[in-house]
Structure 1
Amino acid sequence: MAHRTAFERHAPDPALVERSLAGSRQAVFWLEDAGAGPTYPALTASTTADLTVVGGGYLGLWAAVHAKRRDPGRRVVLLEAQTVGWAASGRNGGFCEASLTHGEDNGRSRWPEQHDDLVRLGAQNLDAFEADVRDLGLDCEWERTGTLEVAVEEHQVGWLADEPGFLDRDGVRAEVASPLFLAGALDTDGTALVHPARLARELARVAGDLGVEVHEHSAVSGLRRVAGGVEVATDRATVTSGDVVLATNVFPSLLRRNRLMTVPVYDYVLVTEPLTAEQRAAIGWERRCGLGDLANQFHYARLTSDDRVLWGGYDAVYPRGGRLHVRHEDRPASHARLAAHFLATFPQLEDVRFSHRWAGAIDTCTQFTAFYGTSHGGRVAHAAGFTGLGVGATRFAAEVLLDLLAGQENERTALRMVRERPLPFPPEPVAGIGINLTRWSLDRADHRGGRRNAFLRVLDRAGLGFDS
């Protein structure tokens, strides 16, 4: 029998929800907080390069930076369709996790024989990320705070009981005070917090300092193999390049073979006004760790440098036909639901107002972590499908792509995660039907003590299990 979730049992007065959102703006806090940054000229004249990077988000920026650090004499051109970091890289939650596999369960179930290696490589990557922040002088509000996972339903408590850093009811509420929290597990080392937009801008700054030629408003329309390399075409000019990295995230791939490999899923976020000292004291959170619950449709939360609470997740909305459009970013029902769940979690903050609300599209693939490949005779390397955990993993992925282009055989390129392609999504309308049936089933499981129905069990056996 279905039951109400904790967020429904503790639902606030609808008037409080409406009041909390009344003054909010549809705007990305991170991009607004970062302020006006440097601009980069559009590509207007054809040129040549040793490496062309398509995409000015984290993956493309890391690829450009790594390429120049490996070979300072290499001519690197980066082409961005709009502006550096404007999409997923500028509007995510700012969690930089060690995991390269979208969590332990996903990694262990898909690549059990390499799981320990993937964990070690992920930890090394996070440490190297931190070293880069220091050595490159990246002003991105880096905080190695760790994360706190919390159980909000009785059946979830058992999922945490054997976890390192387990906290009982009193222990978890001593970390973050919420009447909904029944238990927790604290990982003090595996996650850092960053300012997403500042990180993107700082990586672009470093790339420019290293000699990368960055061009904004230079959308790539096609690739063509030519003698000695690949021609990368924009509307106004071309770059004839020895090698190419494709880092286009959720946007339609320039490779036809990858058009069904990812789908967009919209994620919704709220940010509060800065908390007062009294409000901070009411919730504790002295460790400033990242926060997430264990539901299929989960929430994530963190504090900003000026003590706002970022609160996101739960709804994961697949747009009709799988088409990206700015209209999907303003979804009042999703933001109202988020606000209600926030007030249920922190009733002591009922007077807090939300200043910003926004959404962004996540590039989801069927293995829920990045897949890799090459084309055009090994001259073009690509990665996509990070499924919302790309802040740290894109740094690792950039190294992998450069290794693939160089023909290197090493521990990274030998990973099954790198060598094998996941299953593609079916074409529309089948994809939409299946994705929305999955979302319905996950919601049903959250209302039935975590019990997964026959449809979800079939997906699990096929390696296609999913959560929000």
Structure 2
Amino acid sequence: MATGAMNPVKALSDATPRPYWLDDPSRPEALPALVGDEYCDLLVVGGGYTGLWTALNAKERDPARDVVLIEGQESGWAASGRNGGFCAASLTHGWANGRARWPAELTALEELGHRNLDGLEAALARHGIDCDFERTGEIDVATAPHQVHELKEAAEEADSLGVRDHVFLDRDAVRAEVDSPTFLAGLWNRRGVAMLHPARLAWGLKRACLALGVRIYEHTPGTELSSRSAGVAVRTPYGRVFARHAALGTNAFPSLVRRLRPYIAPVYDYALMTEPLTPEQLAAVGWQRRQGLSDSANHFHYFRLTADRRILWGGYDIVYRYGGGVRAEYDHHPATYRRLAGHFFRCFPQLEGVRFSHTWGGAIDTCSRFSAFFGTAHRGRVAYAMGFTGLGVGATRFGADVMLDLLSGKRTERTELEMVRSKPLPFPPEPVRSVGIGITQWAMTRADANGGRRNLWLKAMDRAGLGFDS
């Protein structure tokens, strides 16, 4: 809990229950819904990052391609407008996960990931997208003694594998960067992560797509996908879209390809945003280089500074709802807000008195291998990219290129990857899914409390290649 007599929950009393990023006067007006039938070369389903990058990259590859995008609500309203704004080069949810799953490809995957992040930064400049992009890097911090050893080992292994720009920070060095009495060490990925305003990225991609001639229809959910002799058709509430090809970017929402649904377990993640810090408050923390941070526990926090000197503080709880539903009433979880507020002031006791301005949550498309998977359906006419598991801000651009490669039918360096050609293990049906997730969460909590030691359940999950994370 916080120092002194302050009750952390009081800092939540004036918080607005909606995503800070979407509470922005620059939010664009919604576009009209589709009424009647449409015809196009490529239909993109979903107006988040995956869909928007697919539409944009398709037009950049071939300006003559006729592209339509449909979105069930408004572009960027879901995970793409609610996330923490950590834009990572990693395509594999960190190089350690990539090493465990695709060791022979790790060098190629790291190189492709850095090229993707560089390409993303170049695209922002090319299309004039102002989303507060800062190449600050990210520090993984140790808050328990066993995590110090793990970070040292990670730094040494990253160096031996040629993973660039990872620097180990001891207690004094990490606290010189960001001062918290809970920090014991850190591992700074100096160039592989950028911070940005997630909603403005989505809105900027939407504007860029429109400028290139993409026709976007909002408040237009796709309800049914079927094959036609010359392509596919997607039914919407007031019409249909006929296309030669379709790309699906629906992620946490039920896929139009039903056989893919067992591969995704929607989990809910929650975040708090503080009011703007005064110069004195910010000086008490340091943070002059504005890195993103996350701690190294199984139940971890992620936190960062915004352009207007607020602190976003999120993570820790991973909430799965029986049946895997995605519903608006799940977007808020006061018990988690209360827990996060207490953790915030334990991390930064020098900020006692700071209040929170916004609270929110939303669904993440978790899969069992922690990183995206890809493929085609309907005889190669439909492509999908899904399962980004909280690492989609940068990786969705790569996923968009994979889908376009797959739809082209041509072999590329991306489509030849084992990561692209393989699938994760699906989650079991209910009630086994909920029971398994509950046991896994209990085991992860126990590991955090017991020096990181993984019990037999977690070791069995590791051997099976199954995981659960956000």
Q: TM-score, normalised by structure 1?
A: 0.96
Q: Which residue of 2 aligns with 1:385?
A: 387
Greater mean deviation of Cα atoms: 283-292 or 328-337? 328-337
Question: Match for 1:249: what amino acid?
Answer: N
Query: Match for residue 40 of structure 1?
Result: 31
Question: Which residue of 65, 68, 79 maps to 1:74?
Answer: 65
Shift of 1:90: 0.3
Paired residue secondary structure (2:323) = helix
1:133 alignment partner, one of 115, 121, 124: 124
Aligned with 1:315 (options 317, 325, 342): 317
Whole-Å separation in 1 of the counterparts to 2:357 and 2:3:
19
Q: 1:250 aligns with which of 249, 252, 263?
A: 252
Tell me the equivalent position of 2:449. 447
2:227 aligns to what? 225
1:213 and 2:215 correspond: yes
- Matched-pair contact (CA < 8 Å) for 1:16–1:350: no
Q: Does 1:201 align with 2:203?
A: yes
The question of 1:303 aligning with 2:305 is answered yes
CA distance in 2, matches of 1:93, 1:438: 25
Counterpart in 1 of 2:272?
Answer: 270
| CA distance, structure 1, for counterparts of residue 345 and residue 467 of structure 2 | 30
Shift of the alpha carbon at 1:11? 5.6
Correspondent of 1:346 among 345, 348, 353: 348
User: Deviations along 1:337-374, whole A, 9 cap, x unmatched?
Assistant: 10101000000001100000000110001111111110
Per-residue displacement from partner, 1:44-98 (whole Å, max 9, x unpaired)? 0202100000000000000000000111111100000000000000000000000
Q: Distance in 2 between matches of 1:298 and 1:247?
A: 27
Task: State the alpha-carbon separation in 2 of the partners of residues 15 and 378 from structure 1.
Answer: 59
Which of these residues, 49, 56, 59, is aligned with residue 58 of structure 1? 49
Gaps of 5+ in 2: 156-165
**CA, structure 1 residues 12+336, in 2 after alignment: closer, same or farther (shift >3 Å)?**
farther
Return the letter of the residue paired with 2:337.
H
User: 8 Å contact 1:34–1:198 — kept in the other structure?
Assistant: no
The Cα shift of 1:320 comes to 2.1
**Offset at residue 331 of structure 1 (A):** 1.1
* Residue identity opposite 1:206 in structure 2: A
Cα offset, 1:33, TM superposition = 2.5
Counterpart residue identity of residue 357, structure 2: S
TM-aligned CA deviation for residue 467 of structure 1: 3.9
One-letter identity of the residue aligned with 2:12 = L
SS state at 1:30 partner: coil
TM-superposition CA deviations, 1:398-427 (whole Å, max 9, x none) = 000000000010110011111111111111
- Distance (Å, rounded) in 2 between the aligned partners of 1:308 and 1:95: 15
* Same amino acid, percent of matched pairs: 56
Moved over 6 A (4+): none
Contact 2:2/2:349 (<8 A) preserved: no
State the match for 1:116 in structure 2.
Answer: 107
Question: Which secondary structure does the structure 2 equivalent of 1:464 belong to?
Answer: coil
Structure 1: how far apart are the matches of 2:366 and 2:343?
Answer: 25
Picking from 288, 291, 298, the partner of 2:290 is: 288
1:161 corresponds to 2:152: yes
Report the Cα offset of residue 13 of structure 1.
6.4
Equivalent position amino acid for 2:28 in 1: G
Aligned equivalents of 1:291, 1:252: Cα separation in 2 = 32
| Alpha carbons 1:149, 1:186 under 8 Å: kept | yes
Q: Structure 2 matches for 1:76-115, cutoff 5 A?
A: 76-115=67-106
| Secondary structure of the corresponding residue to residue 316 of structure 2 | strand
Tell me how far apart the structure 2 counterparts of residues 343 and 445 of structure 1 sit (CA, whole Å): 24
Task: Look up the match of 2:160.
Answer: none
Residues 97-154 of structure 1: CA distance to partner in whole angstroms, max 9, x if unpaired? 0000011111111111111110010011001111111111111111010011110001
Kindly provide the amino acid, as one letter, of the partner of residue 74 in structure 1. R
**Matches of 2:391 and 2:27, distance apart in 1:** 26
Q: Distance in 1 between matches of 2:121 and 2:295?
A: 26
Aligned pair in 2 of structure 1 residues 273, 453: CA closer, same or farther (>3 Å)?
A: same
Give the gaps of 5 or more residues in structure 1: 1-9
2:11 is the alignment partner of 1:16:
no
CA offsets per residue over residues 364-390 of structure 1, 9 Å max, x none?
Answer: 011111111101110000111000000
If the length of structure 2 is used for normalisation, what is the TM-score?
Answer: 0.96
Give the counterpart letter for 1:65 in structure 2.
L
Any idea what SS the aligned residue of 1:67 has?
helix
**Residue 12 of structure 1 contacts residue 340 of structure 1 at CA under 8 Å; is this kept in 2?**
no
Q: What secondary structure, in the 3-state scheme, does the structure 2 residue paired with 1:315 have?
A: coil
Show CA shifts across 1:301-360 (max 9, x none): 000000000000000000122111222222111011101010000000011000000001
Matched residue SS, 1:321: coil
Provide the rounded CA distance (Å) in 1 between the counterparts of 2:375 and 2:29.
33
Partners of 2:284 and 2:328 in 1: how far apart?
Answer: 37
CA RMSD of aligned residues (A): 1.1
Q: State the alpha-carbon separation in 1 of the partners of residues 19 and 116 from structure 2.
A: 28
* Residues 367 and 468, structure 2, Cα contact 8 Å, conserved in 1: no
Q: Is contact 1:94-1:391 (8 Å) kept?
A: yes
Partner amino acid, structure 1, of 2:426: P
Number of corresponding residues: 459
1:272-296 per-residue CA deviation (whole Å, 9 max, x = no partner) reads 0000000000000000000011000
Q: Does 1:235 align with 2:226?
A: no
CA contact (8 A) 1:442 1:467 kept: no
Taking the aligned partners of 1:137 and 1:342, their CA distance within structure 2 comes to 35
Distance 1:202 1:34 in 2: 14
